[in-house]
Each structure stands twice: as C-alpha cells, then as structure tokens.
C-alpha cells in the first residue's frame, strides 16, 4: 500500500474526545482510553509526548502516548525512562506508514530530550524495525511476567549499560 500523507503533532485539548474514541474502537474496550485519560495532566505526562496523526481532513487517525517510567536498580536507585503506549491507528489506514511516523517522531523527541531508554509491551513482529529488542537482554525486567518477545526496549544515544533493574509504569497502567 502507498504511504498516507499525515501530519503528526502533539495532542491539543480539542483532540481528547477523538483520541479516546480511536482507542475505544481499535481496542474494542475502554482500558487503553482510560490509561490515556489517566496520564494526561498527571506528573507522569510528558510535555508534547502525546502525539496524534491527522489525515488531510484533520481527523485523528493515529495516537501514540509516551509517559514517564522508572527503572529501579538492585540498589534502589530510580532512573527515568519513557514508556510507549497506548498506541492506536485507525484500522482502515493501518499498513500505510501512519504508525511508523508516530514511532519515529516519539523516538526523535526522546532522543532530543536525552532519554536513555524507551520501553514498551507490544507486538514482537512490529517494533524491531525501529531498533527495539527484548528488554531482558539489556537487564530490564518487566513489572509483570511478560513474554520476552513482547517486553521490548530501545537504547537511545544517552543509554549506558549500567541502566538495569525492574521497570515501573505510571499508576494508570495498573501493572505492578
């Protein structure tokens, strides 16, 4: 399929209902939308880290949230990282580069801000194209016993090998 021309930008208050509706339709349940709503405006929100993809008419056709996460080392020291997700692209435009644009924009933003690592729980076949690898290979344990192929991390330029430990997500995720 031919890539779709999209505009990617940080969400605005006028986008909130469309973002919630997108997640509710894509996931056929309210949990993902509730997570987005719970992060928005909290201490775990990242300024500019809730990105939307808009089609030519200005409709929200994709959304990717980055939120603050923590890696707790064996020594109890907490190091801040970004957690990606929820991530949704409208079904009729999947496979046309919308998700890839959102991912590249989030990775670029995290890199510019000096974030050392991005973690996510997701499809094993999708994220490696962006450089993600099983997080346990880097010494990053998930907050729950998730499968290696789904628990993934991306090292960014400010990463150092001493960043090891157990990941902790923001409270709205309700994952340990």
Does some domain include residue 97? Answer: yes
Model confidence band, residue 1 (pLDDT cutoffs 50, 70, 90):
confident
The residues, ordered by sequence, that sit 6+ positions from 134 with a Cβ below 8 Å of its Cβ are 148, 149, 151, 152, 153
Does some domain include residue 1? Answer: no
Does some domain include residue 21? Answer: yes
The answer to whether the CB of 56 falls within 8 A of the CB of 45 is: no
Does some domain include residue 112? Answer: yes
Residue 132, domain CATH: 3.40.630.30
Q: What is the mean pLDDT of residues 6-15?
A: 98
Say how far apart CA 49 and CA 8 lie, in whole Å: 12
Does some domain include residue 2? Answer: no
Does some domain include residue 101? Answer: yes
Residue with tokens 């510019």: 112
pLDDT tens track for 39-95:
999 999 999 999 999 999 999 999 999 999 999 999 999 999 999 999 999 999 999
Say how far apart CA 65 and CA 47 lie, in whole Å: 11
pLDDT tens track for 104-150:
999 999 999 999 999 999 999 999 999 999 999 999 999 999 999 99
Model confidence band, residue 2 (pLDDT cutoffs 50, 70, 90):
confident
Count of domains observed in the chain: 1
- Per-residue pLDDT for 176 more than 70? no
pLDDT for the residue numbered 3? 86
Whether the ω angle into residue 95 lies within 30 degrees of 0, i.e. cis, is: no
Does some domain include residue 57? Answer: yes
Say how far apart CA 28 and CA 31 lie, in whole Å: 9
pLDDT tens track for 150-166:
999 999 999 999 999 99
pLDDT for the residue numbered 83? 98
pLDDT for the residue numbered 140? 98
**Environment class of residue 132 by beta-carbon count within 10 Å: exposed (0-12), middle (13-18) or buried (19+)?**
buried
Quote the domain boundaries for residue 130. 7-173
Does some domain include residue 59? Answer: yes
């Amino acid at each position: 399929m031919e890539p779709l021309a999209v505009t990617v930008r940080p969400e605005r208050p006028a986008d909130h209902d469309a973002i919630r509706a997108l997640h509710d339709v894509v996931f056929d349940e309210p949990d993902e939308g509730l997570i987005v709503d719970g992060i928005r405006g909290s201490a775990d929100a990242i300024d500019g880290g809730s990105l939307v993809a808009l089609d030519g008419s200005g409709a929200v056709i994709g959304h990717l949230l980055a939120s603050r996460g923590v890696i707790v080392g064996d020594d109890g020291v907490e190091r801040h990282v970004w957690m990606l997700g929820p991530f949704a692209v409208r079904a009729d435009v999947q496979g046309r580069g919308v998700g890839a644009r959102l991912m590249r924009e989030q990775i670029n933003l995290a890199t510019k801000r000096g974030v050392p690592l991005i973690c996510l729980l997701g499809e094993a076949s999708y994220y490696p194209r962006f450089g993600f690898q099983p997080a346990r290979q880097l010494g990053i344990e998930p907050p729950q016993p998730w499968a290696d192929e789904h628990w993934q991390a991306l090292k960014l330029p400010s990463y150092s090998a001493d960043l090891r430990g157990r990941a902790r997500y923001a409270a709205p995720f309700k994952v340990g």
